[in-house]
Amino acid sequence: MIELLRTNDVVVISFVEALMRDAGIGCFVADQNMSVMDGSLGILPRRVMIDAARADEARRILTDAGVGAEMREG
């Protein structure tokens, strides 16, 4: 598993999850329960993790959808 993106924006996370689901790419959101630690302020970013074998495809999908700037380097 690799980190595809990291953000505090729950709308972006939801959008990326939908894009990955539609493409048949399994993903999960790490750190989504960390809001308990920051008092539900949304300070700590959440990470969208995907299978490394499909990283290029996932990055292409995010770029085509207009959220490529949100991706992590690598």
Query: Is the domain defined by 2-70 classed in CATH 3.40.50.300?
Result: no
Q: Is 49 helix (H, G, I), strand (E, B) or coil?
A: strand
Asked if residue 56 lies in contact with residue 67, where contact means CB atoms within 8 angstroms, the answer is: no
User: 37 pLDDT band (50/70/90 cuts)?
Assistant: low
Give one word for 68, left, alpha or beta, with left for phi > 0 and alpha for psi -120 to 50: alpha
Most confident region among 4-8, 24-28, 68-72 by mean pLDDT: 24-28
Q: Edge-to-edge strands of the sheet including 46-50?
A: 2-7, 46-50, 27-30
Asked if residue 5 lies in contact with residue 16, where contact means CB atoms within 8 angstroms, the answer is: yes
| Spans of all domains in the chain | 2-70
pLDDT at res. 66:
92
